[in-house]
Amino acid sequence: MMFFILAGVFMGVQLELDGTKLVVDTAADIRWQWIYIGTAVVFFFQLLRPVFQKTMKNVSGPKFILPAIDGSTVKQKLFLIALLVIAVAWPFMVSRGTVDIATLTMIYIILGLGLNVVVGLSGLLVLGYGGFYAIGAYTFALLNHYYGLGFWTCLPLAGLVSAAAGFLLGFPVLRLRGDYLAIVTLGFGEIVRILLLNNTEITGGPNGISQIPKPTLFGLEFSRSAREGGWDTFSNFFGVKYDPSDRVIFLYLVALLLVVLSLFVINRLLRMPLGRAWEALREDEIACRSLGLSPTRIKLTAFTISAAFAGFAGTLFAARQGFVSPESFTFAESAFVLAIVVLGGMGSQFAVILAAVLLVVSRELMR
């Protein structure tokens, strides 16, 4: 019954006040058959769960573990190349809306990979990751609004500013452990959001900052006409017909490039002594300290690098939206990214990517 009620809400059923009476209002395209099927599946699963658990205890077999796909073998390299070719060609074969959802998915993949560094690899619980995400987005928005800087100039700057924020926050808080660290980082995320909300003279407050430009291809804009002071448009320079989808496809390709670079950088870090120190810290901090390693310094590097990835993702988010406001960086965003890391299996990059695709696409389909 609880699943039936919740599914009805997600699928478009809601209670509305009609005078003094509550009436059930349904969406025009609601599909009741899926609610019935889902309710039946959950009911019988709960009914037969003791039988399933007893059966699974008697069955012994190898555990399923997602393999690490890092290009260490020839088969993995061929698989990654084929996957990359498909990812590049895919936006030219689907609709504009589908490509836009894929771009959003890429943003959350970058966020998931970044948070995985500090949560999955280093074993630190961070609940305020949205604060670094907001810093990256607002760095791009403010630099463009006040100084006219473009996407490619602001991208590394946003990463540096977010990394600096992570470095400064890490000094006083990374001596904490467990729930205390989580609460402090949660407070940091809320402080950043409230500062952006109240500082109306600089950040625009709740109205946010609009007219944030999209990335260009060597100065060529993907618009019908170039902005004032701009060089030229992509369609005019190459003599092709203007297509609004080109802007969306190019943004997707930029997001894909950033995902590939993020994976490359993280894999290289994991092969370095720093990456092994992260894993050692996650397994046993006391043993790590006894070997002469500084847990605070190791945590600080993980925190700083993780914050930098959030800054890159924030820049991409601002470019996709063309508008940023504090309401885009609530605690729900931090919790959503943390859910991606936990669902994917902390420490596994491939699983984080799969979890990001699953959660983001399912959330967008429910809207």
pLDDT value at 8 more than 80 = no
Cα–Cα distance, 340 to 363 (Å, whole number):
12
Cα–Cα distance, 328 to 277 (Å, whole number):
34
pLDDT value at 198 more than 80 = yes
Question: Tokens representing 23?
Answer: 């009436």
User: Between 282 and 4, whose confidence is greater?
Assistant: 282
**Residue 297 and residue 111 in contact, taking contact as beta carbons nearer than 8 Å:** no
pLDDT value at 61 more than 80 = no
DSSP structure string for 51-64: HHHHHHHH---PPP
Find where tokens 């904490």 sit.
176
Confidence of residue 64 (pLDDT cuts 50, 70, 90): very low
Confidence of residue 356 (pLDDT cuts 50, 70, 90): very high
Residue 101: what residue type? I
Plot region of 17 (φ>0 → left; ψ -120 to 50 → alpha; else → beta) = beta
Cα–Cα distance, 124 to 306 (Å, whole number):
11
Confidence of residue 13 (pLDDT cuts 50, 70, 90): low
Q: Is 96 exposed, middle or buried (0-12, 13-18, 19+ CB in 10 A)?
A: middle
Cα–chain-centroid distance for residue 207? 23
Architecture of domain 74-366 in this structure? Orthogonal Bundle (1.10)
Question: Tokens representing 51?
Answer: 């039988």
**Residue 252 and residue 99 in contact, taking contact as beta carbons nearer than 8 Å:** yes
pLDDT value at 122 more than 80 = yes
Given this model, what pLDDT does residue 14 score?
55
Given this model, what pLDDT does residue 67 score?
52
Q: Which of 137-141, 240-244, 355-359 has the highest mean pLDDT?
A: 137-141
**Residue 27 and residue 43 in contact, taking contact as beta carbons nearer than 8 Å:** no
Kindly state the percentage of the chain with pLDDT values over 90.
41
Given this model, what pLDDT does residue 366 score?
76
Given this model, what pLDDT does residue 26 score?
56
- Which of 12-21, 37-46, 87-96, 262-271 shows the lowest mean pLDDT across its residues? 12-21
DSSP structure string for 9-74: HHHT-EEEEETTEEEEE--TT--HHHHHHHHHHHHHHHHHHHHHHHHHHH---PPP-PPP-SS-SH
47-56 mean pLDDT: 72
**In whole angstroms, how far apart are CA 227 and each of 148, 211, 219, 236?**
12, 12, 11, 13
Given this model, what pLDDT does residue 280 score?
83
pLDDT value at 27 more than 80 = no
Annotated domain spans of the chain: 2-58, 74-366
Average pLDDT of the chain to the nearest whole number: 83
Q: Mind listing the pLDDT tens digit for each residue in 232-279? A: 787 777 878 887 788 899 999 999 999 999 999 999 998 888 888 888
278-295 mean pLDDT: 80
| Helix, strand, coil % in the chain, rounded to nearest 5 | 70, 5, 25
